[in-house]
Amino acid sequence: MFIDIPRELEADLIDRPLPPWELDGSFLAQSSLEEYRTELTVTPRFKEIAATLRLALTGEGGGYAVLRLGNLAKALSDVRFRRLVTGFAAEVAVPFSPFPRWPLWKDIGVKVDKDPGKSSGIGYNAFHMDLVNGTRPPDYTTLLCVRLDPLGGGTSILSDAHAAVARLSEDSRALLEESAYHYGTFFDLFGVGEEYKPFPILDGSAPGAGFVRFTAKMLERSELSQAHADAARELAEELVRGQVSFMLQPGDYLIVNQHRFLHGREALHSGQDTVPVAERRLLLQLFLRAKAGDGSAA
């Protein structure tokens, strides 16, 4: 699931500047998609990496990938590097921002006074799907590592949601198929459908298909019956039991297929208040929408 870039491709990409992107609403414009693809697919090695990336995300047993782009991050300016990563993302699906008030890429920094369990908090960020309460959550969520936690925390965690579901009892799966769950607010969002409340965690699709619409935060912040809470808690435990973890390095680009995997983060190391804001852990987030008629995300 970790994809290294051949040196000859790195050299080619360093010498191949991309133009600024244009947006169509909150989505990367078709003209930019085509322009980036034309520029990048000149080299056969790029086509090979793009094919490897898509297979890692949608092939049997896949669901996430990490592009190791650290050398390119060092060699390029921030602007050029972000355009290049956007070009890689566009080989998977269409980049977009569900938050009209934010640009295409959203900063996820560290705020010591924020809820510790939030993405910009300092605590454990439990397994979840992004935009879980939209009728059309992003097909992919992606994170680009700009800076590590200088104190050594913040390990990324992922878990195969369908494998976790398969280990549950039949009674628990039946409860998770009931529209009894809800989480969060829903306002000023774009491209993720309507508010879904309440929703089922499992949508009744065939085993291994459909979203596992889960966030561990709803166990603490939603009013659930004891039976529904217990079923969701059993799923949370199975997700932890099956998790994989790794530390993203500067320039690493994580792409998660939300139809298959859930993600989270271990707590940052204690002492974040002693780290200057400009030196704290920093990720950039970008969402992707599968093209109409593209079943690759399912």
The residue type found at 182 is H
The residue type found at 168 is L
**Hey, which residues does 28 pair with through a beta bridge?**
23
Q: Is the pTM of this model over 0.85?
A: yes
For 156-197, what is each residue's pLDDT tens digit? Answer: 999 999 999 999 999 999 999 999 999 988 989 999 999 999
pLDDT over 90 at 102, yes or no:
no
Domain layout of the chain by residue ranges: 2-290
d(CA 232, CA 246): 25
- Sequential DSSP letters for 175-216: HHTSS-B--S---S--SS-SB--SB-SB-SPSTT-S-B--BT
What is the arrangement of strands in the sheet containing 156-160, beginning at the earlier edge strand?
125-128, 261-265, 156-160, 244-246
DSSP 33: H
Interval 119-128 mean pLDDT: 96
Read off the pLDDT band of 295 (50, 70, 90).
Answer: low
Residue 294: its pLDDT value, please?
67
Residue 207: its pLDDT value, please?
81
Look at the domain 2-290 and name its fold: Double-stranded beta-helix (3.60.130)
- Comparing C-alpha atoms, which of 20, 63, 67, 56 is closest to residue 39? 20
For 229-287, what is each residue's pLDDT tens digit? Answer: 999 999 999 999 999 999 999 999 999 999 999 999 999 999 999 999 999 999 999 99
Residue 223: its pLDDT value, please?
85
For 27-64, what is each residue's pLDDT tens digit? Answer: 999 999 999 999 999 988 999 999 999 999 999 999 99
